[in-house]
Chains A and B, each alone.
Chain A
Amino acid sequence: MSWALPLPVAVPLIAAALLVATGGVLPRRVLDAIGIAAAATAAAFAFVVLAASERHDLLHWFGGWHPHHGIALGISFTVDPLGAGMAALSSTLVLLVLVYSWTFMRRQSQTYDVLILTFGGAMAGFALTGDIFNMFVWFELMGVSAYALAGFMVEELGPLQGSINFAVTNTVGAYLTLMGIALLYARTGALNLAQIGGTLGHRPADRLVIVAFALVVTGLMVRAAIVPFHFWLADAHAASPAPVCALLSGAMVELGIFFIARVYWTVFAAPLHVHGAGVRDVMVALGVATALLGAAMCFLQRHLKRLLAYSTISQAGIMLAGLALLDPRSLAGVANLVLAHGLLKAGLFLICGVLLVELRHIDELDVHGAGRRLPVTGVLWLVGTVGLIGIPPLGVFLAQQLLDEGARTQGFGWLAAVGAVASGVCAGAMLRAGARIFLGWGADQDDLLTPEPDEDAPERDVSLRLMATIAGIAIVLGLVAALVPGLEARTKVAAERFADTSAYRAVVLHGAAHGDAAAHLPYSALRVDTAAALYGLAALAIAAATAAFGLWHRRLPSGLRRLGARVLWPPVTVVRDAHSGIVGDYLLWLSAGTVAIAAVWALTL
């Protein structure tokens, strides 16, 4: 089976090279077909790998450089179900996006398809790799194709600014990670994750290992858009073409979270074991701050893509907090959140593309009521929003139920409430925008919200039916993914394997095989826990209240409004002004954040 491991990466990369080589020769139709066929093949192989990895971990040693006597010199792809699941999710989104862009981006050059395929190949490689330097290379390849895609519309200033902010902050993040990798190599002489972990062993971590951990994790947090490294994300999303946003929000940000988990459990879990509480507290705090700040900023947006971007930041915070609990159950919750949120958010961004073509603007105040003639799009928007709330048993509900269980075992029961507030406020902002656009409710003026520059709408000669279908597929998949029988049990088993450091090491370095884990997996129906269901309903209530406030806050008694303005406006202004759009400011936050995190860990652990 191990021969199939490189294919989700190799197929799109080879196809991208082929498209560049034959760009001037073959007709456009053939080139499009090659691109879509390659994406479909890659996605199919990713699912084959996922199915096979459920039985036991899969390994591929490039060039046949197998480990000898437990020493790994070669580069490996080491695949367990969570890694394969990330690759399958990103490959699926790449396929959907390419089909969607077939008409949406028709007027753009072929370079667009090439970049999407490279991006997809890099994301799959990032998800599958078992080598930390190889991870850095995929990280940069993923980055550079994403920067180019974000700035693809070079005729406007907004995309250029978004792309530069994205590129500069993420490049500095990559250098931080690289320095961390260098320190790990200096200590262990190894680059394979299992080998590094094995060499560090169970000795408590010293300062060098702690600083290396802080550097590697900080670089990944930049990619995962965690406060205070999140600024680039909103700028990059506000100006990128909608299908590119779908990939950035649906898969790339989550890959940052994924690798924090990967590197923690393969390398740092044993050395940092005695310091578990310190690591947990800092990352939970960052996650909670990200979730709440993202939700607040989400509410203050009127530009749909920027609104969705802040909701992604908020969800990334929930993912980080869930992962930071360092509990396999909440890790399973994070995996489910990545799946459901990735599909739903990608679908919602694709809807933004449809709206841009139909209404020429995607600012909720500018197109107030203009969406009344688009009932299908409106229903899809509503369905996507509801999926993100976590009402039992749909959308992100299963994820939040598992997160809540993990949080309660670790003594962080209040985290579920934070999750409900954050999801509720974000969903409320989306409901408000939907109600304004598709129903014409509320005022068409709102001085709470931040205006953003317009983007050029694509020509109308696109197939709106195809675009809406693709968006609908993503949204419906995201809504019902949690209902797949046995998904809960399967992700739990997968998360336990993911967190089993010694088994991972035995598989990679000594070729030990797991037992047949899949044999015991039941196809059980989704179980609904009362507490989680109540949190889901609370989030729904918060969403409804937020949306109603957003639409009709002018009708509140004037005394209450004045008091609210006096209390809330100063902090809101400060937070809003921090998102200045100037790259130097973002780098200052990045450096200060890195130093603070490294200092806290180096001094307290």
Chain B
Amino acid sequence: MTLLAYGVAVWVFAIGIYGAIVSRNLIHLALCLTVTQSSTYILLLTIGYRHGAGAPIFDDVKLGTAAVDPVVQSLTLTDVVVSVTVIALILALALDVHRQSGSVDPDEISTLNG
């Protein structure tokens, strides 16, 4: 069961990257990056998961009650916050690209090369 989750993380990472590689639309590209990023959530949460354990809320429970690892959950939250900024920036850049050139195809806007 846990192995499956690790496999899913790798798979989601790979399809996200694949989508970004073949993308012909900057908005689509940004969404592919969020897919790639979701794989890091899956990986982090899987690492902290424990069978039969509850949420890591230690109010009104007996000492020694099993809980999933709260550290990876806060790492995931931080990851969400940090990456949302990046994705927002890429989307803003895509808007500006469209305003300048009328296109959002990364192949068409290429002026720098070599």
Chain A residue numbers with a CB within 8 Å of B20 are 168, 172, 583-584, 587
Tell me the count of chain B residues lying within 8 A, CB to CB, of chain A. Answer: 41
**In the docked arrangement, what's the CA distance between A171 and B23, Å?**
16
| Chain A, Cβ-Cβ closest to B96 | A154
| CB contact under 8 A between A182 and B93, given known A141-B82, A157-B111, A172-B33 | no
Interface string of A116-159 (1 = CB under 8 A from B): 00000000000000000100110011011001100100111110
Interface contact A581-B43, CB-CB below 8 Å: no
| CB contact under 8 A between A151 and B93, given known A175-B36, A175-B40, A182-B44 | yes
Closest chain A CB from B103 CB (angstroms): 10
Chain B residue numbers with a CB within 8 Å of A483 are none
Chain A residue numbers with a CB within 8 Å of B23 are 584
From B17, B82, B112, A591 is in contact (CB under 8 Å) with B17
Main SS of the interface on chain B? Answer: helix
From B39, B83, B90, B114, A300 is in contact (CB under 8 Å) with B114
**In the docked arrangement, what's the CA distance between A577 and B43, Å?**
37
Residue from the set A148, A453, A581 with the largest chain B CB neighbour count within 10 Å: A581
Within 8 A of B (CB), among A157-173: 157-158, 160-164, 167-168, 171-172
| CB contact under 8 A between A175 and B37, given known A147-B89, A157-B97 | yes
Residue A185 interfacial (CB < 8 Å) = yes
Residue B101 interfacial (CB < 8 Å) = yes
| CB contact under 8 A between A137 and B82, given known A161-B109, A186-B47, A235-B112 | yes
Residue A588 interfacial (CB < 8 Å) = yes
Chain A residue numbers with a CB within 8 Å of B21 are 584, 587-588, 591
Residue A178 interfacial (CB < 8 Å) = yes
Residue A452 interfacial (CB < 8 Å) = yes
| CB contact under 8 A between A155 and B100, given known A581-B111, A584-B22, A587-B17 | yes
Chain A residue numbers with a CB within 8 Å of B47 are 182, 185-186
Residue B65 interfacial (CB < 8 Å) = no
- Knowing that A141-B82, A171-B90, A185-B47 are A-B contacts, what are 9 other residue pairs whose CB atoms are under 8 Å apart, sorted by A's residue number? A143-B86, A147-B93, A148-B89, A167-B90, A175-B36, A179-B13, A185-B75, A235-B112, A239-B112
List chain B positions with a Cβ less than 8 A from chain A: 13, 17, 20-23, 26, 29, 33, 36-37, 39-40, 43-44, 47, 71-72, 75, 78-79, 82-83, 85-86, 89-90, 93-94, 96-97, 100-101, 106-107, 109-114
List chain A positions with a Cβ less than 8 A from chain B: 133, 136-137, 140-141, 143-144, 147-148, 151, 154-158, 160-164, 167-168, 171-172, 175, 178-179, 182-183, 185-186, 191, 234-235, 238-239, 300, 306, 450, 452-453, 576-577, 579-584, 587-588, 591
